[in-house]
Structure 1
């Protein structure tokens, strides 16, 4: 029960975004809906008056009055159409914009440690296909359904005013479309969820195909890649077809039953008119007209309820995904490392029983530079991940100036520590925007970051407004790495973690980038590197050598070479 209340509360938070700061547009749209229902009922009444006047039955209005009434209703119709053309699009635009923005804001609260293990296709699907489905199948139909409900109530009242006996017949016959729609309705929400699941697979397949395009081409795996894409595409279209078929059956059954009920009322009204029950030709025609509104609501009710349930299921799916792995709070620490980082008996595993780090202890003094080397799978990158709180499920201790990492708030940690990775993400924007991450900094601070990171040459040649292209395609590998370094310098982080930043660069560029990192004085630099270059290694204050998740050796380059241990073997083989 408590879990259900929590789920309902999460749904309300998300669905509430449709109406937040959107009251005026909502009120105008509702007003238009109410007035449109009244207008349609007035047109039905005018139709009855016109037919009765034409057939010689008693009518309340003469021809001139009918003409003026018709002109007035048409004028109101034009005004309502114009108002709806403004209010409804504005409501939908703001509603879906706020829904997506709220969801993305919640996404940014995710814990860095676990987000990388999640399936991002869930969020891509939820914020694109699922959001479109919610807008089209629920929000857009919400006001038309409310209008139909008002027409239903108004039609019932008007029909009862004209002829209670014929109204009773209409109510009995209207049970047909209602029963038919209720029988055909179940399963639409499940079909919508199936479309959402298949869309996740399709988006994931498309993303993999684009990200791995070079691998596909180099291995000549075009046919296999096409087969994978085609399989997901066909599954998605099959799910959409099933959902459309469900909706079509629901609509068709309701429409057929509604037509049968409408014809039944027409025949009953004809019999009553001929039998002297006081039903005029105008009333009989208006009954048929009002039955259309009557049955429109009845046939639309199951479809609307099914779409509402489907929209709720899609909202719940996104809300549930965003509710897990949320970033936890902790204590704030100073933005400058004064003493150092201490690691004590650190162990970490991605899977139970498969330790990547085992009992590792080390100390990094503030302001010094350290290289972390070792063979593939030795735990180098995992060590940096743990230092960045990317793996909080570790055993042992990691302390920044004596404060255990688990107790430090993520925001405070990210102010203290910056990470430069091998794969630098670059936005399709200007060089300056990528350095500042779209924030405002003093000009002298930006210039300092550009100078220390070695970006001044690029800026002087092409300007800060130079567009980097999608994922930095207009930049060289070295320039992308320097942008990442400049970001860290601009934030004035006290600790710089570098994870194989030069692995994909040519030897000369890698040497220059690594040299730029070592030239940064005042920062604590911990650099994971595969390149064992003597000129660079001699500049580090310490070298940590990992082997099978343990600390095999540590010391300066000269000391390690004199020992002729594991590092000596690694270095000799690499030359």
Structure 2
């Protein structure tokens, strides 16, 4: 149940306010009974009748004011749960990195929205409907136990009918969820590929591809909605026959025999809305909640997932990196075998090999993201082989194409980590960003994918991220291959002249001037042969 992800106090208060909400119809029914019985049996005076009416109106006004709080609290609870779900789900997707962009994007947008609309809201409404039903039953029993019991018995029939539709609704919901994810990916592809479509004048087929996905998604949604609507109509018709007409018929007989007054009959009929409607609504709400099962199952994995908080390493902890007899195979192909390598604190090493050798794979082995077929990797004489949690805290990473968030310059360097202005200014100086910071400021919006930055500035942002982490080893994966020679040399000067970090760079082509900046150059082809 999603309500466990909000404050218990709020749920309790919602429960109490739901009781007040349920009293609205009861007040109307009870006031109606008193006034009709007074009129039928000529009890009291006109003034007393007026007083009853005024008291009833005042009670309804008070309930209305309480309902403002009830509705605000309902919205607040939904907000709390939504924020919690989105935070946990996003953390799960980032941590696991198992879902494709299509699945993750669909989960964070469409699926979570469906959960809000069909699950969270309906779980809250089931509480309100159940309370309305109980309050109406209690008041009904106090006034005519026979009619009330008859209403209770006949409300069972719609529940029996509802069970026939449950499995079919769940199946159609799963079909819609799959079609919706496919449509989301096609939209994402279309937007990301807009430039390519424009280049080759293929806008029509690209749009057509999205339309095909949209039709399939809408067809699946239409089928799901129609099935739910049919189920609702059938349940409503059965409920009206068995839960309204038949009890009303019996009530009319009792009134004809003089066992109850007109006011009591009208009151029970009025309350019958709270006998029947809550039950009908609950059945429909249960159906809606069940339709979210495929989506909730995925979200539930995220909610149960415990994030691992790694312990940060500092450069003072690092005494050396050693690789012994490392072998890695992909299917039947051996990328490298019996590889030995060592790195001292603050040492700058260039690993050179042609494209396709497996340089990026080697860095992933260092990070513990992959498990070698043979051999061991040691940091500070402790094995970190294939252990991401133990290994990666020792490394920062400079990619060939760093990812840039559509946010400020400051956020792209800190990534949300705390850093004072003095620390940031020092980072800017070390990473060669001082001029940009002086001109634009730390709150400069860098644009989507760093559109407002040059290629060199993007690389320097990546370097500043690495320096802020204060990790002892910086891995550079073809970090400057996409830059011109001048920028490449500038970036290398920034990285390699920092005395506080060790550097391992993999590259297949680099200038002699840049090679001279390294302490050691290792030709990987020769080492692994």
TM-score of the aligned structures, taking structure 1 as reference length = 0.82
d(CA) in 2 for partners of 1:161, 1:323: 46
Could you tell me which residue of structure 2 aligns to residue 402 of structure 1? Answer: 381
Shift of the 203–507 alpha-carbon distance from structure 1 to 2, 3 Å rule, reads farther
Superposition deviation, residue 181 in structure 1: 2.5
Change (3 A) 1:551 1:319: farther
CA distance in 2, matches of 1:90, 1:322: 20
Correspondence 1:81 to 2:67 = yes
Of 456, 462, 465, the residue aligned with 1:484 is 462
Q: 1:339 Cα deviation (Å)? A: 4.3
Provide the secondary structure at the position in 2 that maps to 1:139. helix
Paired residues in the alignment total: 527
Q: Equivalent residue of 2:325, what SS?
A: strand
Structure 2 residue 361 is the aligned partner of structure 1 residue 382: yes
Of 315-324 and 285-294, the range deviating more from structure 2: 315-324
Structure 2: which 5+ runs fail to align? none
| Structure 2 CA distance for partners of 1:286 and 1:428, relative to 1, 3 Å | same
Structure 2: distance between partners of 1:160 and 1:334: 73
- In structure 2, what is the Cα distance between the partners aligned to 1:356 and 1:448? 41
Determine helix, strand or coil for the equivalent of 1:359. Answer: strand
**TM-score if structure 2 supplies the norm length?**
0.89
- Determine helix, strand or coil for the equivalent of 1:376: coil
On the 8 A contact 1:369/1:524 being kept in 2, the answer is yes
How much has 1:244 moved relative to structure 2?
1.5
| Equivalent position of 1:573 in the other structure | none
What does residue 371 of structure 1 align with? 350
1:534 and 1:294 mapped to 2: Cα distance? 86
| Shift in alpha-carbon separation, 1:442–1:70, aligned structure 2, 3 A | closer
Counterpart of 1:46 in structure 2 is: 31
Partner of 1:18: 5
SS at match of 1:464: coil
Is 1:507 aligned to residue 492 of structure 2?
no
Q: CA deviation at 1:171?
A: 4.2
Q: 1:344 aligns with which of 296, 302, 324?
A: 324
1:342 positional shift: 1.7
Task: Report the equivalent of 1:68.
Answer: 54
The Cα RMSD (Å) is 3.1
1:267 alignment partner in structure 2: 249
The answer to whether the 8 A contact 1:430-1:467 is kept is: yes
In the superposition, relative to structure 1, how do residues 329 and 476 fare at CA in structure 2: closer, same or farther (>3 Å)?
closer
Is the Cα–Cα contact under 8 Å of residues 337 and 366 in structure 1 kept in the other structure? no
Query: Structure 1 residues 79 and 551 mapped into 2: Cα distance closer, same or farther (>3 Å)?
Result: same
Change beyond 3 A, Cα 1:221–1:257:
same
The 5 Å alignment of 1:436-475 reads 436-475=414-453
Deviation at 1:75, TM superposition (A): 2.2
Distance (Å, rounded) in 1 between the aligned partners of 2:359 and 2:458:
22
1-structure distance, mates of 2:444, 2:454 = 13
Unaligned runs of 5+ residues in structure 1 are: 1-11, 554-575
Distance 1:177 1:433, change over 3 A: closer
- Which whole-Å CA distance do the structure 1 matches of 2:343 and 2:361 have between them? 16
Q: CA-to-partner distance for each residue in 1:511-545, whole Å, 9 max, x for gaps?
A: 32233323333422111224332222233333333
Question: Which stretch shows the higher mean deviation, 483-492 or 498-507?
Answer: 498-507
What displacement does 1:107 show?
4.2
Is 1:360 matched with 2:342? Answer: no
